[in-house]
Structure 1
């Protein structure tokens, strides 16, 4: 049996549009503990799972960081294309057992196994422009038809467990989650919040309260703007008596010109 390589992993994505960007995510793992504020900040960037590649990190690294954190609240900065599914599941379960509050910020990407880790958050915050992706479990094998059938059974069982994890946060039905996993679905920050995977999208107000609002102009406002324009466009003739009323002062309700 041949197991997945790093290149196999990226090639398994149905949507290849983001692969080159995902490959460029720097590998970084560190933990900083602050006993004064009783918080521990953990950075998880890059590929997950040392069982695959030497330059990645594993559930064991998270376990050591959480032991050092004690009962501190945990803040995780996450940016990962994913990696080993079982390491992702192990990290999810280890975080869920932690006594302190778990806040996870998706700084860029939470794909594949990283999306599993994200589900451990008591508060999952999608940062501006970040994305969240779920897809089918995969592996590369060679062997007999019996080997392939056994591997398919393992992948199906693995996916059922992963869907169980997604169901701890999402407001979608299990059938909908299964369909999105099968299709490989990429969620914007807004969509991740809409479907309940995330709790908040930073920099985006779902009620549009922070977005510029077009001013609603009254008839009086419009008449004032028209009179201003007529005064600007009218030829300068000193001998001509104005046949129209002089331009009115614009009321304070006018917010500006809109094109």
Structure 2
């Protein structure tokens, strides 16, 4: 894709509401290997791929980090407006081939190419207030109509490949994902979880989880209490002496059948 500044890249977003926040993300690519725990922490903040200002990192950086990590489990801390789509795809595939478990934590933003990288996670956690964005592939083109049509065809094929990646996690149809890509869709942490992109939300307190468990137990207890009361009524009915029947008198067939049914 054509090199461009971060500002020019962000101008391509249909929704310009968050541009300043995305502009202000500090550029950082950091790797910390822990031989004792056999884990490697990788921080990915800022632009992914090519930039006129060289304020980005590449798939080569990720490849080197993973080679140094050997078979370590990987924890990625992600906060990025995105960047070069092909670079994001290369990083995704490199992470998918890694031997260790890959866990991604979206600290703030996972937009555009960063959302593609996030899909490489064996487990993906959305932080409180974090967001994810998917959109159409784009490029800056200068040239003839023939060259522009060729570029449009390339973007179509690129998008199909990106949708393939999203579908590895999505729990909705491919057509729905394509519609969300075309519309440029921004997902809150909760929405990312609902559509299947995320596996869990970070920051959910143990108290909230316990309250949900208590509520479930209470409901079960209520059901059991109702069942016990019904059994008591039935037992009482069964133990009551049958009314005496005069010789020659016929039993009430309806009452007899009712009692027989509940026995």
User: Residues 148 and 202 of structure 1: is their aligned pair in 2 closer, same or farther, counting only changes over 3 Å?
Assistant: same
Alignment of structure 1 residues 147-226 onto 2, 5 Å? 147-204=147-204, 209=209
- 1:50 to partner: Cα distance: 3.2
Q: Are the aligned partners of 1:47 and 1:56 in contact in 2 as well (CA < 8 Å)?
A: yes
The aligned counterpart of 1:68 is 68
Per-residue CA deviation, residues 13-66 of structure 1 (Å, 9 max, x unaligned), is 000000000000000001000011000000000000036541100000000000
The aligned counterpart of 1:97 is 97
Structure 1: gaps (5+ residues): 213-259
Hey, which of these two has a bigger chunk of helix by percent?
Answer: 2
Q: Are the aligned partners of 1:3 and 1:139 in contact in 2 as well (CA < 8 Å)?
A: no
Q: Are the aligned partners of 2:4 and 2:51 in contact in 1 as well (CA < 8 Å)?
A: no
- 1:204 to partner: Cα distance: 4.0
| Superposed structure 1 runs of 4+ greater than 2 Å apart | 1-8, 50-53, 208-212
SS in 1 for 2:104: strand
Q: Determine the C-alpha separation between the residues in 2 that align with 1:84 and 1:127.
A: 24
| Farther off after superposition, 145-154 or 196-205 | 196-205
Q: Are the aligned partners of 1:2 and 1:142 in contact in 2 as well (CA < 8 Å)?
A: no
SS in 2 for 1:141: coil
Q: Determine the C-alpha separation between the residues in 1 that align with 2:18 and 2:199.
A: 24
- 1:5 to partner: Cα distance: 3.9
Q: Determine the C-alpha separation between the residues in 2 that align with 1:2 and 1:46.
A: 18
The aligned counterpart of 1:81 is 81
Rg larger in structure? 2
Structure 2: gaps (5+ residues): 213-263
SS in 2 for 1:47: strand
The aligned counterpart of 1:59 is 59
Q: TM-score, normalised by structure 2?
A: 0.77
Q: Determine the C-alpha separation between the residues in 2 that align with 1:204 and 1:179.
A: 31
Alignment of structure 1 residues 16-35 onto 2, 5 Å? 16-35=16-35
Q: Determine the C-alpha separation between the residues in 2 that align with 1:29 and 1:38.
A: 20
The aligned counterpart of 1:218 is none
Q: TM-score, normalised by structure 1?
A: 0.78
